[in-house]
Amino acid sequence: MTPEIELIIRLSVLFAVFVCFCIAALFLFRVYFRSRSRMRGGKDEQITLRVLVPKFRNEGDGKQDQTSQQIQEDISITETFFGAIGGLKAQKGFSAWLHGRTDTFSLELVTHEKVITFYITVPRVHKDFLEQQLLAQYSDAVIEEVEDFNMFSPTGTIVGGYLQFKRENALPIKTYKEMDGDPMNAITNAMSKIPEGDGVAIQFVIRSAPAAWRKMGLRIVKNMQKGMDYKQALKGGDGFFKGWFQSKEDADKEAQKRRERKMSQAEEKMVQGMENKVSKAGLEVNIRIVVSAAQPASAEADLNEILQAFSQYNIYEYGNAFKKAIPSKKKKLVHDFIYRAFDEKYRMVMNTEELSSIWHLPLVSTETPNIRWLLARIAPPPPTIPAEGLHLGYNTYRGARTEIFANDEDRMRHMYVIGKTGSGKSYLLRYLALQDIKAGKGVAVIDPHGDLVDDIMGSIPKDRIDDVIYFNPSDQDRPMGLNMLEAADESMKDFVVQEMISIFYMLFPPEMIGPMFEHNMRNYMLTLMADVENPGTIVEIPRMIADEDFQKKWVDKVKDPVVRSFWEDEMAKTSDYHKSEMLGYLVSKVGRFVENEMMRNIIGQTKSAFDFREVMDESKILLVNLSKGQTGEVNANLLGLILVSKLQMAAFTRANIPEEERKDFFLYIDEFQNFVTPSIATILSEARKYRLGLVLAHQYMGQLVKDGKTEIRDAVLGNVGSMLVARVGPEDTEVLGKVFEPTFGPYDLMNTDKFTWNVKLIIDNTQEKPFTMKAVPPEKPNPKLISALKDVSRLTHGRPKELVEREIAIRAGLGVAAGEKKQPAPVPPSR
């Protein structure tokens, strides 16, 4: 060998080594860059979305089993979703080869803490695309961006693996169209059996497949149609070298033999399956399964349970089947799982029909327990929502957030708020009332629990501190007066009396209140109201019965001929026996309040602690604490009924000023059924022109029906303009379902999430379609401010207990304070 040739050989070897080294280095760089890209992409460029769908989407859902055809139709909509992903242009070029493709989507079924959740992790740049495509098929779905889930236990065991095709990608697996039910039920049922504390995730990493994936399938189909069997068709014939050693005559005979050969039934199905597979969009898929469990044996059992669930897709005779692949490097498996990396080694190609069979959102027919369903459907707000006014909350629909407002004019049509305990009523009322207070409006809040008004006081702005009136009946050291028999003028006396009669009907069973009680009580009250400027009180009724001199002095002031006739013609001719019997019956109803020290010191004061008309006209803040635990249920109900009646009367007296001078005043009543009489219909229908807007809240419809009478319920449902409904019971859906259908059904109304409201607003005096609204948490109250405002209010509007008791004792003839000389009862001055 000449030196020149030897040199050439050496240089060639060196060049070959250099090329091999460069190729190896390039592949090492590829591994490095792909690892960096996965970590960076998983951390910064991917987002995890939780997908929820409602269990019941139509009126008939859940009432009967779905047919196979209906199930197939429901699954088929997912094909369109995967078709959109498969239609994306597959990334290619040197950058995609070096760094890896970034157009992957990860669909995940995760069971953790016994709950099965559907997640989708996507590149941030594709978030809008995915949401649009998914919502186009699942219009009721809710897609929420969430923190990435973590199902791993620090002390647990992690196992996992992949699913691969046993045969070539061209061959199909069994799909939902060949099955009687939903094939995913087997997978989700297996996941539902995972013990508490263990976690399982099935990860489907998908991306669009390059167009070349169809070539193999089409080539195999073409060759088999020429008479080749599958193995020959896969290789493209009898082999590369066979033609070299075969004569033309033998080759022609072989070709003729193939043309005459008929495919078996299995081969025909195989060809048909491959033709169907390549006719649809294809996607490259990794199926990765990861299990975290407390014990190694439990982890292996969980993994095998999930792997077994995929065997239903296998077609052993003429199609494809899954096989498990357990990687030797567990650390890489977990790393790729966390960063949703696509591993070329475990690549499969599926069409949209196959992929829809192994992953789709749960159907209405899905009976697997523990699936995380959407508790209730979400509906968008109408486009006519005002851009300003009272902020009610916000609506998030398909990623778009809309702030919800109500203008003051529409609020005068009143608001009705209903929801079970814990649904967020108090939070909503506090949030709304504080907005009115900060806007300088007049507000009254009647709270049967006490927490609501306390929290409101803790957030009162400095410029409104002087407007606060805090009425707390349980403050017995400085009771505030509340005279039930006050009337603004002569024209309001009959209204006051009728309200008082209605109050007694609300407080006592109907059989205990009859026409004679009503007749006598009306005349006694009208007599004590004969002097509008200095009226008597309800605690003086027993003395009017027992003390004839006291009675006579009041009767002398009566100008109403009908009332005078009651005393002069009726009572004067009634025997002592019948008089005693009737009046004893009367006293027994009044006595329960007169004999209670706390109530006596409130309703026994001749002047109320504050002027209700002034509260409304000067935009004061009246906060009423009627905590039943401190006041007593019956006492709280009586005081609430009186307060509502007085506010109603104050609103009606606004008729003496022009409408444009009437300031808006908003009355919030929690558990309002305890504080309104059937005359609520009058308030709801007429209060608007007097600028009194009501916000009525309670828990369930049955509270509005008493003794089979539905006047209050009918008045509310027939007159309120806007309804805010949180989670309610099945009985309430019979009524409210008719209001909110077809947007929301009974299941939606019963399963609304906490602080979520189904709203039907009146906007510009037009009733709009229902929508969903999330409430905004109110600000945290200041405890020091609460205490300070309570002290100021009780000193300003309350009176010393000793002074109040002395006055009541003298007027009602209840005795005198120790050491004092007995004095005659005061008589109302002549007019």
Q: Does the pLDDT at position 37 exceed 70?
A: no
- Gap between the Cα atoms of 757 and 777, Å rounded: 13
pLDDT of 458: 94
On whether residue 51 sits in a domain, the answer given is yes
Q: Does the pLDDT at position 239 exceed 70?
A: no
Q: Using pLDDT thresholds of 50, 70 and 90, give the confidence band for residue 253.
A: low
Query: Do the Cβ atoms of 658 and 634 come closer than 8 Å?
Result: no
On whether residue 505 sits in a domain, the answer given is yes
Q: Does the pLDDT at position 8 exceed 90?
A: no
Q: Does the pLDDT at position 820 exceed 60?
A: no
pLDDT of 30: 57
Q: Nearest 5°: phi and psi at 292?
A: -120, 125
On whether residue 630 sits in a domain, the answer given is no
Q: Using pLDDT thresholds of 50, 70 and 90, give the confidence band for residue 93.
A: low
Q: Does the pLDDT at position 245 exceed 60?
A: no
Q: For the residues 729-735, what does the mean pLDDT come to?
A: 92
Last residue of a domain, one of 300, 323, 358: 358
Q: Using pLDDT thresholds of 50, 70 and 90, give the confidence band for residue 628.
A: confident
Query: Do the Cβ atoms of 134 and 289 come closer than 8 Å?
Result: no
- Gap between the Cα atoms of 226 and 257, Å rounded: 10
Q: For the residues 512-536, what does the mean pLDDT come to?
A: 86
Residue with structure tokens 């009924």?
A: 641
What percent of the chain lies above the pLDDT cut of 90?
A: 54
On whether residue 439 sits in a domain, the answer given is no
Mean pLDDT lowest for which of 235-244, 249-258, 401-410, 566-575?
Answer: 235-244
In this structure, the answer to whether residues 199 and 341 fall within a common structural domain is: yes
Question: What is the torsional sign of CA 60, 64, 69, 74?
Answer: positive
DSSP 601: H
pLDDT digits (tens, 9 = 90+) for 466-478: 999 999 999 999 9
Q: Using pLDDT thresholds of 50, 70 and 90, give the confidence band for residue 260.
A: low
pLDDT digits (tens, 9 = 90+) for 172-185: 999 999 998 999 99
Evaluate the omega torsion of the peptide bond into residue 479 and state whether it is cis, within 30 degrees of 0: no
pLDDT of 593: 78
How high does pLDDT run on average in the chain? 87
For 35, residues 6+ apart whose C-beta sits below 8 A from its C-beta are none
| 615 class by beta-carbon count within 10 Å (0-12 exposed, 13-18 middle, 19+ buried) | buried
Residue 32, domain extent: 9-241+259-358
Last residue of a domain, one of 358, 381, 399: 358
Q: For the residues 600-607, what does the mean pLDDT come to?
A: 92
Q: Using pLDDT thresholds of 50, 70 and 90, give the confidence band for residue 304.
A: very high
Cα–Cα distances in Å, from 456 out to 438, 445, 756, 779, 780?
11, 9, 21, 9, 9
Q: For the residues 655-667, what does the mean pLDDT come to?
A: 92
Q: Which two tokens stand for residue 620?
A: 């004061």
pLDDT of 263: 78
Q: Does the pLDDT at position 616 exceed 80?
A: yes
Which residue spans within 488-590 are E strands per DSSP? Answer: none
Mean pLDDT lowest for which of 130-139, 414-423, 515-524, 739-748?
Answer: 515-524
On whether residue 433 sits in a domain, the answer given is no
pLDDT of 353: 96
- Gap between the Cα atoms of 563 and 543, Å rounded: 18
DSSP one-letter string for 145-190? EEPPP----TTSEEEEEEEEESS-TTSPPP-GGGSSS-THHHHHHH
Beta-carbon count within 10 A of 23 CB: 10
pLDDT digits (tens, 9 = 90+) for 483-498: 989 888 888 888 888 8
Q: How many domains does the chain have?
A: 2
pLDDT of 61: 52
Cα–Cα distances in Å, from 747 out to 358, 725, 728, 773?
28, 13, 10, 17
Query: Do the Cβ atoms of 661 and 482 come closer than 8 Å?
Result: no
Query: Do the Cβ atoms of 239 and 292 come closer than 8 Å?
Result: no
On whether residue 20 sits in a domain, the answer given is yes
Q: For the residues 113-124, what does the mean pLDDT come to?
A: 94
Last residue of a domain, one of 302, 326, 358: 358
- Gap between the Cα atoms of 148 and 697, Å rounded: 39
The predicted model scores a pTM of: 0.79
Give CB contacts under 8 A, 24+ apart, made by 219-227.
Answer: 220/168, 220/170, 220/274, 221/271, 221/274, 221/275, 221/278, 224/263, 224/267, 224/270, 224/271, 225/271, 226/258, 226/259, 227/257, 227/258, 227/259, 227/260, 227/261
Q: Using pLDDT thresholds of 50, 70 and 90, give the confidence band for residue 100.
A: low
On whether residue 739 sits in a domain, the answer given is no
On whether residue 425 sits in a domain, the answer given is no
pLDDT of 74: 92
In this structure, the answer to whether residues 350 and 488 fall within a common structural domain is: no
Q: For the residues 180-200, what does the mean pLDDT come to?
A: 92
pLDDT of 31: 61
| More confident call, 38 vs 332 | 332
pLDDT of 453: 95
pLDDT of 88: 87
Q: Does the pLDDT at position 95 exceed 70?
A: no
Q: Using pLDDT thresholds of 50, 70 and 90, give the confidence band for residue 232.
A: confident
Q: For the residues 30-43, what does the mean pLDDT come to?
A: 55
Query: Do the Cβ atoms of 649 and 492 come closer than 8 Å?
Result: yes
pLDDT of 541: 86
Going by their DSSP bridges, the two strands 756-760 and 771-774 should be labelled as antiparallel
pLDDT of 684: 87
By C-alpha distance, which of 374, 406, 376 is closest to 388? 406
